[in-house]
Amino acid sequence: MEKQLKIKDLPLDERPYEKLEKYGPEMLSNAELLAIIIRCGNKNETSVSLANRILMQDDEGKGLTYLYDVSLEQLRSIKGIGRVKAIQIKALMEFSKRVATTFPNNRRITIKSSYDVSKLLMEEMRHLKKEVFKVILLNTKNRMIKQVNVSIGSLNASIVHPREVFSEAIKAGASAVLFVHNHPSGDPEPSMEDIDTTKKLVSAGEILGIKVLDHIIIGDGIYVSLKERGFV
């Protein structure tokens, strides 16, 4: 019977656990970090080797974001990855997304630029499979009151009506709003529909006395500000 290869069979300076303890997590490769999560390999390879093979399944050049997009079924189709390891990987990716989008409750978020919006929502929205249209409600000092999901569309379109968009702003007594939606394709370039919808919402806001500060389109790691493009 073949002996299962284990991390302890590696030289000390190549063992992820010991390496992290000695040098810190930032010194580990992506494969070494993933190896710690999946814990063990199989009889033919260590967890590091298996982690490397998982990451090499990315044939679209997505990098680590591949792990966001891959399904449980796709992970389980990789030799050496069973139900538990697949669940561990998907749980890790969801946890990392939540960490990236979590702010301390006592922190009052002030929106001063499109970059602030992208920093707030990029990690939450860049991997979504459907278009989601959000409204960020702001007070007179541009501090965020709350953010509201107005609509969830198909992969190609998100239906937005001024009534739904501004009703929450009126209830909350917001003095200004920011619109944010994602493009599941990863390309944030605005469509004519995006531009037309933005113009209609800006006009509706003027009638209601609620200023529309910007409309941000989130792509995969990049964004477009319609204000900076001159449409707001």
Closest alpha carbon to 11 in 35, 46, 42: 46
Q: Does residue 209 come out as left (phi exceeding 0), alpha (psi in the -120 to 50 range) or beta?
A: left
Q: For residue 149, give every residue at least 6 positions away whose Cβ sits within 8 Å of its Cβ, in sequence order, or none.
A: 132, 133, 134
Residue tagged 């494969």 (tokens)? 31
Give residue-wise pLDDT tens across range 19-59.
898 888 888 899 999 999 988 887 788 888 899 999 988 87
Annotated domain spans of the chain: 7-100, 114-225
Per-residue pLDDT of 155-191, as tens digits, reads 444 568 888 889 989 999 999 999 999 999 999 999 9
Vertex 38: Cα angle to 36 and 44 (nearest 5):
105
Which residues share a beta bridge with 110?
Answer: 143
Q: What confidence tens digit (pLDDT) does each residue in 120-151 have? A: 899 889 888 889 999 999 999 999 998 899 88
Structure tokens at 66: 């591949």
Quote the pLDDT of residue 1. Answer: 46
- The pLDDT score that the predictor gives to residue 65 is 78
CATH number attached to the domain at 114-225: 3.40.140.10
